[in-house]
Amino acid sequence: MTRTLFITGASSGIGAETARQAVAGGWNVALMARSREKLTALAGELGDAALAVPGDVTRMDDLDECVGRAVDRFGGLDAAFANAGRGMSRPGTEDGDLDDIRGMIDLNVTALVQTARATLPELRKTQGTLVLTGSGAGRRHIAGSIYGATKWFVHGYAGNMAEEMREWGGRCCVVAPGMVDTPFFADGAPDKLQPQDVAAAIMQMIDAPPRANIREIFLMPQD
C-alpha cells in the first residue's frame, strides 16, 4: 500500500526536494505552500503521486482544508513534514522590525504547532511520523538571534511531541541542518549543504522501521 506524506513549505528548497525523493521512494505527496504556480509546476513534474494544495499555514482553516483534500485524494496520511519557516530581514531585538518579528514567530512557531494540530488526527490512525524542520541555530546560542530562538522552540516541541506520540505508536522527529543552499539565503550558499542532503535525512526518518524513532538528525557542512 502506498504511503502519503503531507509537506508544508513545499514549493522550493528542502520541501520540494523532499517531495521528489518521497515520490521516487514510492510515496504519495500532498504539497502545501502559498505559491499556487510553483506548487502546480512541481505537482506536474511529479505526476499522479503528487497533489498541490495551495494555502497559508498561518491560517488554521487553510491547513484543515488542505489536510482534508489530501486525505480525500490519498485515503490518509502516514507522515507530515512541517517545513514552512523563514528568517528576518534585519535580525536582532533592537534593530528588527516588530511586524517582521511577529510574522516570523507566527510562521516558525505558531504555524508549526497548527500543522501538528491539523495532521495528528490522521497520523494517529496510521501510527505515523511527524517531522519538524529545526536548525543548527536551534542547537547553539547565536548573539541576539530571534530566529535561532524560534528553532530552539522547535527542538523542544519535537521532543515533547515524541513523548506524546509514542503513547499511541507515532513518532516525532526533527531535522537540524546548518546552512543549506536554498532561497532562504538571498545570495545562495553553494559551498554548504544542498537540499537533497536534508531530504535524504527526512526520508531516513519516515522510512525507518516502526521499532525505531530517529528523533533528531543534525547535519552540518563538512567544509
Of residues 136, 159, 160, the one with CA closest to residue 148: 136
Q: Give per-residue pLDDT as tens, 57-80.
A: 999 999 999 999 999 999 999 999
Residue type, 9: G
181-214 confidence digits (pLDDT tens): 876 555 555 568 999 999 999 999 999 999 999 9
Any idea what the CATH number is for the domain that residue 115 is in?
Answer: 3.40.50.720
**Closest residue by Cα to residue 115 from 144, 154, 141, 164:** 154
Q: What's the pLDDT score for residue 184?
A: 56
Distances (CA, A) of 122 to 38, 67, 84, 195: 26, 9, 20, 27
Q: Quick one: pLDDT at residue 222?
A: 84
- pLDDT on residue 187: 56
Q: pTM for this structure?
A: 0.93
pLDDT digits (tens, 9 = 90+) for 2-45: 999 999 999 999 999 999 999 999 999 999 999 999 999 999 99
Tell me how many domains the chain contains.
1
Per annotation, catalytic residue among 147, 182, 195, 203: 147
Q: What range does the domain containing 22 cover?
A: 4-219
Instruction: Show the beta-strand stretches assigned E in the chain.
Output: 4-8, 28-32, 50-52, 79-82, 129-133, 171-177, 216-219
- 3-class secondary-structure state, position 125: helix
Active site residue 147: yes
Listed in sequence order, the DSSP H helices in 47-97 are 60-74
- If one counts every other C-beta atom within 10 angstroms of the C-beta of residue 143, the result is 7
pLDDT of residue 163: 97
pLDDT digits (tens, 9 = 90+) for 124-153: 999 999 999 999 888 999 888 999 999 999
What's residue 48's pLDDT?
Answer: 97
Query: What's the pLDDT score for residue 138?
Result: 87
Cα distances (Å, whole numbers) of residue 223 to 28, 105, 192: 35, 31, 7
User: What DSSP string describes 162-182?
Assistant: HHHHGGGT-EEEEEEESSBSS
